[in-house]
Chain A
Amino acid sequence: MSLEFDRKIHEALSNQKLQLKIYANTGRMKEGREASVAPDVLPDYQELRSQANALKRHAIDHLDHYLEEFERNAEARGGKVFWAKDATEVADFILSLAREREARLIVKSKSMTTEEVDLNERLEHHGLEAVETDLGEYIMQLAGERPFHIVGPALHKDRYDVADIFEKHLGIGRETVIENQAAIARARLRAKFLAADLGISGANFLVADSGAVVLVENEGNARLTTTAPRIHVAVAGIEKVIPRAQDLAVFLKLLARSATGQALSVYTSFLSGPRRRGEIDGPEEFYVVLVDNGRTRLLPDRGKRQSLYCIRCGACLNTCPVYRRIGGHSFPWVYAGPIGAILTPQFLGTAHEPALPFASSLCGACAEVCPVKIDIPKVLLELRHEVRRSEAREKRGGAAVRLERLAFRVFAWLATHPRAYRLAAPLGVALLPARLRERFGIDEPPARSFRQLWSRR
């Protein structure tokens, strides 16, 4: 485990205020989800999950086909598609577009993909102003932090923290009433929307048969980002493509419910190309940036490929006993929680934080709530295997790995031979060195074993 990871976890665990905030806020979303998918509310919930899984599997297994279909249809409707293999290409494309169109001010609506590539920092470095407009993201940008949670970026901040941030960065008096804080953000950001030349959004779905970008949100900032400025650029991971517009009937029923417990989010925008002849408003130019940034690395392995089915609802974070204690900022990259624990090692390589796949109890709660049925615990196990294998390869801890393997082989044999087990078990406890017992926090063995107690019953 890296020192950094260890330190952040302990910091989070010892911060009682933070513990309470994470627990309460994820708890509310968790309860919302549970109520909205209950059998009397959504009787075909499990069928919808199976259909969503089948659709994602089909789309990812034939990803090249659907990306080309998407591109064809987006361009037929006047949009332009740009392919970016990494962060630099995303930033370069937007920078050159901004330069050509003399755009200075950029408004952004929530996009995890642009977080992946540190787009804001890159744009600001070149003298452009890029403003996050989702309230939670706006707070995070002012505070100089990255999102704490996929759906609730500022989940770890309460009204007093927000008051501090606004006071310090907006130069206004202290305001602790949440309604007023939202109104301040609205007024500040409204001015930005109306002055911006370029709007950058993410994409919840790319619809192949329509060449459309689908955005799901509650505040209206994504609608403003994609309507007010002259130019709209959607930055989307290549895995976001789904075959047909009609498939949205399945995904939309699952997404908002899994995220916040709403039947539908307040705004769902289905955008295909720039404003057409006769239409009164909307952007004059429409671009979609299809981002790889490590995604194709997840494709070759059929077992782990399912990690790309994720629709970023955050349900696995809200239900995870680990995330709910250590929070979003303990995780080494932009994606936190169970989904982060499987995406990060695959995007950045297991060496980035070898301990990450092990930071899980494998309780399976994440798989149970996942609307697209990603078997997260299974992928975690495969990643653990990979970490150990590469450790053995590097000889670093090679002996330890061999010893562990031997120990498990012995255990497996004993566990399937009850008579030998009965003889060996007391021996094993007695042989366990005190040093190891201490290290793993194992108590002194009791005077009588479970088997002894059981036999006397």
Chain B
Amino acid sequence: MSRESILHRVRTAVGRTEDQPIPEPPPVRLRIPQVDREARLQSVRRSLEALAAKVHFAVTPRAARDLVETLLAGRNAVASNAPYLSECGVANLPGVRTGFRDAAELREACTAALVGITSADYVLADTGTLVLLSSNSEARLISLLPPAHIAVVPSSRMLTGLDELFTVLPSPADASSSMVLITGPSRTGDIEQILVRGVHGPGELTVVLVG
């Protein structure tokens, strides 16, 4: 069987025997900078706007709801089951379908929708990155199939960057089968290095930070 023959070749080549203990790997390198809240908010804005994503700050959940209503401008949308979206009232906006538990139904709805609305588990301030863990409240396709993606996230979920993410979440696989980091709208430069947005994923990304 190839498993044994590959492992045998590897061991012979690197001079190891089966089950031989290994030395400690190089220590983990995670450095969390001290960045105050205001600076983090501005960093999210700066990073995302540089990628042609839009950023809004809403003071209250109610204000976030009103903002999303304006952003939707009558477009039909699918919202994830994230409790925060119901808390804000975003999930109950007119034209917004939510509560999907069945993969096939969700896929059909996402194929037809113009906007996908999600929350996020974290936002990374230094790069403007959304972190979404797949669960019963966040499906993968909502941030992927519709041509526009709106994420409504409480600003308390803001982290400084990757180092802090992997500090608070050292093993993402324990939490979910899928963690995706989203940094800006889908894009390509495959033809003449000319930037085109929305080639497979959403070409339009709006992040609403609340509170």
Contacts and interface: CB of A to CB of B under 8 A. Distances in A.
Interface of A: 24-25, 28-29, 44, 47-48, 51, 54-55, 58-65, 67-68, 73, 77, 83-85, 89, 133-136, 139, 152-154, 157-159, 162, 178-179, 181-182, 185-186, 189-190, 194, 207, 209-212, 218-221, 223-224, 227-228, 238, 243-250, 252-253, 260, 262-276, 278-282, 286, 290, 292, 296, 299-300
B172 A212 contact: yes
B144 A157 contact: no
A134 B14 contact: no
Nearest to B24: A58
A269 B103 CA distance: 19
The 4 closest A-B pairs by CB, nearest first: A220-B201, A299-B13, A136-B190, A272-B173
A275 B190 CA distance: 31
A269 B180 contact: yes
B10 A270 contact: no
Contact of B200 (A133, A253, A268, A271): A133
Given A271-B177, A275-B177, A279-B136, A219 B191 contact: no
A48 B81 CA distance: 38
A157 B191 contact: yes
Given A55-B25, A65-B22, A280-B100, A266 B7 contact: no
Nearest to A137: B190
A220 B10 contact: no
Which residue, B7, B144, B173, B196, has most C-beta atoms of chain A within 10 A? B173
Contact of A64 (B10, B29, B107, B186): B10
B201 A280 contact: no
Contacts of B42: none
A265 B178 CA distance: 17
Interface in B1-37: 1-3, 5-7, 9-14, 16, 18, 20, 22-23, 25-26, 28-31
B135 A279 contact: yes
A210 B178 CA distance: 12
B88 interface: no
B192 A159 contact: yes
Given A189-B200, A220-B201, A250-B29, A210 B171 contact: yes
B156 interface: no
A84 B141 CA distance: 31
Contacts of A54: 26
Contacts of A61: 14
Contacts of A25: 192-193
18 contacts: A64-B7, A64-B18, A65-B22, A77-B173, A135-B188, A136-B191, A186-B200, A220-B199, A223-B140, A245-B173, A264-B129, A268-B180, A270-B181, A279-B136, A282-B140, A290-B6, A296-B6, A299-B14
A55 B177 contact: no
Given A279-B177, A299-B14, A134 B190 contact: yes
Interface of B: 1-3, 5-7, 9-14, 16, 18, 20, 22-23, 25-26, 28-31, 47, 81, 100-103, 106-107, 111, 126-127, 129, 134-136, 139-141, 144, 162-163, 165-166, 170-173, 176-194, 196, 198-202
A178 B194 contact: yes
B196 A182 contact: yes
A218 B162 CA distance: 18
A51 B26 contact: yes
A220 B22 CA distance: 38
Contact of B2 (A65, A84, A210, A299): A84
B134 A282 contact: yes
Contacts of A264: 127, 129, 162, 181, 183
Contacts of A186: 198-200
Contact of A281 (B141, B162, B189, B198): B141
A190 B199 CA distance: 10
A257 to B, nearest CB: 11
Contacts of B172: 210, 212, 245, 270, 272
Given A62-B16, A182-B191, A89 B2 contact: yes
B177 A238 contact: no
Given A220-B201, A244-B28, A278-B135, A260 B190 contact: no
A61 B26 CA distance: 13
A224 B200 contact: yes
A154 B190 contact: yes
Contacts of A89: 2
Which residue, A51, A89, A279, has most C-beta atoms of chain B within 10 A? A279
Given A268-B181, A279-B134, A219 B200 contact: yes
